[in-house]
Structures are given as structure tokens and as C-alpha cells.
């Protein structure tokens, strides 16, 4: 049995490693982006000088030969599904018995004039990082187009090298399509506090180039002209599936898969950012381009291919990121425009850089979600509360269970409970037991 995997990101490599654990199948991983698997979230830290590319590789180079995982460094031109062959741009043909498509994402482009000029790039691939490095010595001013997590990463990268830039965000407050108003306002303040030229309610209209085909200026939706030598397109990502669209594969925005991550073509699977679930679980999106779902899909598809059919179950939604100095975590359901039955306890520290939001159901008092800015909570504790539908007041009394900050950091559980008491007219108190005792007791349940 020969398993071919297109893409060596977290989903494809997880699938390869788990197939090797479960079987003796021949495994071949194809990637044009890089010869070796690397941590994509580390791209920003490589640019900022905190890491080298070698540091970003989770496995030593000898790992692949030792575990008999073949690597082919090259770009795929097309897949002949009838002949079960992958065809590379250089003409090589690789036959397969089972094929896993793990082709990832690509930066969104919305048909802006000039979007393909030299100096206009996303921030997703190793090639994007190399392009930014190549242009950086010559950048007098840059423009970032689009808010969100990738945009703020690029902002922090440019800021670390003292490269001036303008940040165009079409929303009225940063990432308010995801964050509730208070958290969005906090992030907006924090970005501007770092001296960033953040332009809200401003969009890219077009990019102008010079006679050598290099970008030299952007024009905004308001008609403002901003001279620049680099434009970062960070207005989201979409599945990297264009080279497969003229095939028999069922594709909408992404490659359509069932609960077992199988496509409409026998022996062909899709995982990670490029996969679109036909029937996502309630509260989950058909496409979720985040690291942990890609890893989970890789584990699941390995089980299925190795004779243990396993449906994909992403569990409770969670995500984490960083807005310059503010760490962000979300568990469960926290909506920017919640329905009427969603109640919310929101506490914010006087410094305006820390907050905790606990969302619960007005009808049942069950917790629905946690939104954390500048404060870290334990994943396993929040997940247990959410899975069990624990009542809000029980959660508050045991809130110190969740605290994941280091031992001598300030603790804010008392202030959060006091906020709830003031809001609800109650007199709840934290349980007076050592956190270690509480955690051990909790995990035994």
C-alpha cells in the first residue's frame, strides 16, 4: 500500500507520522514549499530574530529516513485521479493507492488592481517570509491590508525592525467580526499604543506599480494615496485548491469531505485548511483554518486509512493568539453579536490590558464560553466545564481551578466573582482550598 500526501504542513505530517505508527505502508510526502516540515506559527519569530529556520523544525532531518517517510520537494501540477497519479511541474509522476490532500491555505486576493506586483505578498508560506526578508532592507514604508491574526502578526514583525507602516482595516474596531465590543476596543487601543498607524473603516482600492513592476503606492477606498515599497495582504485565507478545480473532485470553497474526511473520489481524502466538511457539527464552521483542527484531522484520517474508520469530531472550539503583548484565548462559544439567551459576565482590569468574559445560557445557567485577554486559563478545565454544561455559579466558586498563570502572578478570581455578585445581586465566594488540591479533585471526577 502506497500512501501519498500532498502538503507537509501540520495536517499532512501528522497523518504521515500516525500512519507510520499504525502500519508498515509506504508513505510519500510531496511539498513545493519546503523540503522539511516546519512550524508555520514560527515564521514571525524567525523574522524577528528569536529563532532560526532550524529551530522551527520540530523534527531532526534524520527523522524522516529513520521512520521511512519519503519526501519529494516539488510543486504539484495536477492529479490524474483515474490513473491514480500525482503529476509534478517537472513531469515526474507518482502513483498512489491512497491519496491525502493537505494543501493548506493561500492568502485571499479580491481582484485588486496591482495585487500581483513585486512587493505585494501574503504572510502564510515560507516563500512569503523569504519575500519579506528580500524587500525589508529597501522598505521606507509598508502597508498592511486587512485585520485579524495574520495582520497583527505582520504588524508586530515590521514594528520589531522599526519599519514604518500603515494598517488598513475595513471594520470600525479591530477584529470586531470575531471579538465582542469590549475586547475589540482593548485590542484597538493596544495596537495604537505601540505607535501603529491603524486606519479603521479604510479599505484597499488599488495598488500602483513603477515601470519595473514593483509596487510604489496604494490607493484607499477614501482616495488617499500612500507611498510604499511593500504591501502585506492579510485579509484572510482561503483553501489552496485552484489546481484541482478542473477535476472530478467535488469542490465548493474547499474540497468537500464526509465525516471520515473522504472526498467523492474513492481512496482520496482531504484534511486541514483545504477540507470543507459537508455536515459540520453544530456551532462549527465547514472550514476551520487553525492549527489544532489540522492536527486532529491528520490523526483521524490515519486511523481510517489503517483500517479503523474514525469520524472526525473537533470537540469544543478553542483558539489562541497574541496581539503584541496581550495573549488571547477563547474556549467554546463567544460571539460578537450574541443571541438574546446568551448572558455574559465581563470583567476588565483597570489597566485596560486584561479581561475575562464568561458566557452562559440565561435559561439554564450553563456556561457556554470563555474569552480571555492577558490572562491564561487551563484548557482541560474550561473544556470540562463546557462539556458538562456546568452552571455559572459553580464555575465562579471554583474559578481558581482554571488559572494557568505562573505561581507569583497576580490572581484576579476574587475581582471576577465580585463583579458577578454586583451584577447578579449574589454573595458568592471562592472556595478556600489550595489550587493543587482543587485541580487533583477536579481531575478525579
Question: What would the pLDDT profile of 78-118 be if each residue is shown by its tens digit?
Answer: 999 999 999 999 999 999 999 999 999 999 999 999 999 99
What's this model's pTM, rounded to 2 decimal places? 0.92
pLDDT (tens digit per residue) in 385-441? 999 999 999 999 999 999 988 777 888 999 999 999 999 898 998 887 555 555 556
Q: What is the β-pairing status of strands 268-270 and 197-200?
A: unpaired
Confidence at 49, pLDDT banded by 50, 70, 90: very high
In terms of pLDDT, which residue wins out, 438 or 278?
A: 278
Please give the pLDDT value at position 434: 54
Residue 439 confidence (pLDDT)? 57
Range(s) within the chain of domains with CATH label 3.50.50.60: 2-106+238-305, 120-235
Q: How far is CA 378 from the centre of its chain?
A: 19
Give pLDDT, residue 437. 56
**How long is the chain?**
445
pLDDT above 80 (res 442): no
Report how far residue 421's alpha carbon sits from residue 391's, in angstroms, rounded to the nearest whole number: 15
- Helix ranges restricted to H, 165-286: 181-193
Tell me the C-alpha distance between 306 and 24, whole Å: 10
Q: What is the pLDDT of residue 142?
A: 98
The domain defined by 120-235 folds into: FAD/NAD(P)-binding domain (3.50.50)
Cell numbers representing residue 43 in the block: 515564521
CATH code for residues 2-106+238-305: 3.50.50.60
Assign 244 to helix, strand or coil.
Answer: helix
Name residues whose C-beta falls within 8 Å of residue 266's C-beta, 6 or more positions apart in sequence.
none
d(CA 81, CA 387): 41
pLDDT digits (tens, 9 = 90+) for 346-364: 999 999 999 999 999 999 9
- The domain covering 318-444 belongs, at the CATH homologous superfamily level, to FAD/NAD-linked reductase, C-terminal dimerisation domain (3.30.390.30)
Look at residue 191 and tell me whether its pLDDT is greater than 70.
yes
Residues 6+ apart with CB under 8 A from 193: none
* Residue 414: CA count within 13 A, CB half-sphere: 3
Average predicted confidence (pLDDT) for the chain: 94
Tell me how far the alpha carbon of residue 67 is from its chain's centroid: 28
Start and end residues for every CATH 3.30.390.30 domain found in the chain:
318-444
Q: How far is CA 104 from CA 87, 129, 259, 271, in A?
A: 18, 16, 19, 8
Amino acid at each position: 500500500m502506497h500512501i501519498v500526501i500532498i502538503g507537509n504542513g501540520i495536517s499532512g505530517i501528522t497523518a504521515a507520522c500516525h500512519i507510520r505508527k499504525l502500519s508498515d505502508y509506504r508513505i510519500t510526502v510531496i511539498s513545493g514549499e519546503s523540503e522539511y516540515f516546519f512550524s508555520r506559527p514560527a515564521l514571525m519569530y524567525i523574522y524577528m530574530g528569536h529563532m532560526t529556520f532550524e529551530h522551527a523544525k520540530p523534527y531532526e532531518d534524520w527523522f524522516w529516513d529513520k521512520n521511512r517517510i519519503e519526501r519529494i520537494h516539488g510543486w504539484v501540477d495536477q492529479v490524474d485521479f483515474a490513473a491514480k497519479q500525482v503529476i509534478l511541474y517537472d513531469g515526474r509522476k507518482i502513483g498512489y493507492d491512497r491519496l491525502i490532500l493537505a494543501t493548506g491555505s493561500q492568502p485571499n486576493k479580491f481582484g485588486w488592481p496591482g495585487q500581483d506586483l513585486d512587493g505585494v505578498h501574503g504572510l502564510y508560506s515560507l516563500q512569503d517570509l523569504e519575500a519579506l526578508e528580500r524587500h525589508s532592507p529597501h522598505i521606507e514604508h509598508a502597508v498592511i491590508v486587512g485585520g485579524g491574526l495574520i495582520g497583527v502578526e505582520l504588524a508586530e514583525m515590521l514594528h520589531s525592525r522599526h519599519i514604518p507602516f500603515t494598517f488598513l482595516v475595513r471594520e470600525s474596531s479591530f477584529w470586531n467580526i470575531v471579538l465582542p465590543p469590549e475586547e475589540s476596543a482593548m485590542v484597538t487601543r493596544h495596537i495604537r499604543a505601540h505607535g501603529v498607524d491603524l486606519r479603521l473603516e479604510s479599505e484597499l482600492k488599488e495598488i500602483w506599480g513603477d515601470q519595473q513592476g514593483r509596487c510604489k503606492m496604494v490607493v484607499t477606498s477614501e482616495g488617499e494615496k500612500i507611498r510604499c515599497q511593500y504591501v502585506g495582504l492579510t485579509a484572510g485565507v482561503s483553501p489552496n485548491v485552484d489546481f484541482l478545480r478542473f477535476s472530478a473532485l467535488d469542490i465548493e470553497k474547499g474540497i468537500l469531505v464526509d465525516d471520515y474526511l473522504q472526498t467523492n473520489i474513492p481512496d482520496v481524502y482531504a484534511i486541514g485548511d483545504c477540507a470543507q466538511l459537508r455536515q459540520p457539527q453544530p456551532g462549527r464552521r465547514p472550514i476551520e483554518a487553525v492549527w489544532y483542527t489540522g492536527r486532529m484531522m491528520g490523526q483521524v484520517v490515519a486511523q481510517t486509512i489503517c483500517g479503523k474508520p474514525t469520524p472526525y469530531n473537533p470537540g469544543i472550539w478553542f483558539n489562541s493568539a497574541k496581539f503584541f503583548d496581550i495573549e488571547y484565548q477563547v474556549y467554546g462559544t463567544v460571539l460578537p453579536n450574541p443571541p438574546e439567551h446568551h448572558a455574559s459576565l465581563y470583567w476588565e482590569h483597570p489597566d485596560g490590558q486584561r479581561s475575562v468574559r464568561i458566557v452562559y445560557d440565561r435559561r439554564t445557567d450553563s456556561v457556554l464560553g470563555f474569552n480571555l485577554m492577558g490572562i491564561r486559563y487551563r484548557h482541560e478545565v474550561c473544556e470540562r466545564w463546557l462539556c458538562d454544561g456546568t452552571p455559572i455559579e459553580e464555575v465562579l466558586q471554583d474559578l481558581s481551578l482554571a488559572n494557568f498563570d505562573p505561581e507569583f502572578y497576580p490572581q484576579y478570581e476574587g475581582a471576577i466573582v465580585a463583579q458577578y455578585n454586583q451584577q447578579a445581586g449574589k454573595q458568592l465566594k471562592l472556595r478556600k482550598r489550595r489550587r493543587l488540591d482543587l485541580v487533583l479533585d477536579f481531575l478525579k471526577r
